[in-house]
Amino acid sequence: MNKTFIVANWKSNKTNAESNVWINSIDYLSSEDKEVIVCPSFTSLSVFKYNITNNKSKIKIGAQNISQFDEGAYTGEVAGRQIKELADYVIVGHSERRENFHEDEGTIIKKLEIAGKYQLTPILCISDISQIQNSKIKALKKTTIVAYEPIAAIGSGIPDSPENANEMGKKIKELLEETPVLYGGSVTSENVGQFTKMPNINGVLVGGASLDPQTFAEIIKNA
Ligand code: PGA
């Protein structure tokens, strides 16, 4: 069965106390056909893992970033081996990291390699097909999920059209074979179903609308 992925990207939001409230207000468990992945800040990963284990929840955990280096003298970085203790997925190459932290293709490839080394499934974000078309990233296709997120749609309230996202999904799958493709950018509980019903879209990456547990639960229900 093909799963629908519903990924929450909290970005730089929520304290541990707020993360706790969120986890305890969401009553939705992932089902056979829906894989729910929540990506909190590094500071909330432990509290998340603790709650999910205690509640026997099927929600999966993702990190929002990973060091391009292995463990060692890299102040401020969080290494793949440390993340693997707490998460199964990791977001790589989000446009906010490409822009604000100057992550280029070389860095992103190293991060994908480190993720692979520690059996973390990368959710590789791209805003344009050119970011994988002529890239060595193609060689890393095996375990990757790709999220298509047009920059203008992120946080703007103006999503891409489902048809356009589907077309991008098709192009991505032509390059990376059967890689699951997610759409991200102003996904809401009202529009999510229009994206997930598209044949080349396997799920959604949700930023702002994932911060409220009730809204996120609606998104899961409607996906
Ligand atoms: P948004 O963010 O849902 O707030 O548009 C999506 C993302 O950046 O992953």
Q: What is the pLDDT of residues 117-162, one digit of tens each?
A: 999 999 999 999 999 987 777 666 666 899 999 999 999 999 999 9
Give Cα separations from 140 to 63, 125, 144, 152 (angstroms).
19, 14, 7, 27
Note the Cα 57 to chain centre separation in Å. Answer: 19
Rounded to whole angstroms, how far apart are CA atoms 168 and 132?
12
pTM over 0.85: yes
Q: Give me 200's structure tokens.
A: 């080349």
Whether residue 155 has its Cβ less than 6 Å from ligand 1: yes
Q: Which of 82, 31, 81 is CA-nearest to residue 60?
A: 31
Residue 3 CA to ligand 1 center (angstroms) comes to: 21
Could you identify the atom of ligand 1 that is nearest to the CA of residue 184? Answer: 6
Residue 73 CA to ligand 1 center (angstroms) comes to: 32
Residues 23-77 pLDDT 10s:
888 865 666 789 999 999 999 999 999 998 988 888 999 999 999 999 999 999 9
Whether residue 194 has its Cβ less than 6 Å from ligand 1: no
Whether residue 179 has its Cβ less than 6 Å from ligand 1: no
Could you identify the atom of ligand 1 that is nearest to the CA of residue 209? Answer: 3
Could you identify the atom of ligand 1 that is nearest to the CA of residue 206? Answer: 3
Whether residue 204 has its Cβ less than 6 Å from ligand 1: no
Whether residue 182 has its Cβ less than 6 Å from ligand 1: no
Catalytic residue among 94, 105, 167, 190: 94
Residue 13 in this model has a pLDDT that exceeds 70: yes
Bridge-based pairing of strands 34-39 and 4-9 is: parallel
Residue 149 a catalytic site member: yes
Q: What angle do CA 128, 131, 135 make, to 5 degrees?
A: 155
Q: What is the 3-state secondary structure (H, E, C) of 158-210?
A: CCCCHHHHHHHHHHHHHHCCCCCEEEECCCCCCCHHHHHCCCCCCEEEECHHH
Whether residue 123 has its Cβ less than 6 Å from ligand 1: no
Residue 105 a catalytic site member: no
Per-residue pLDDT at 168? 97
Give Cα separations from 112 to 38, 40, 62, 100, 107 (angstroms).
19, 19, 14, 19, 9
Whether residue 219 has its Cβ less than 6 Å from ligand 1: no
Rounded to whole angstroms, how far apart are CA atoms 89 and 77?
17
Residue nearest to atom 3 of ligand 1 (CA): 207
Per-residue pLDDT at 1? 56
Residue 177 CA to ligand 1 center (angstroms) comes to: 25
Q: What angle do CA 94, 98, 99 make, to 5 degrees?
A: 115
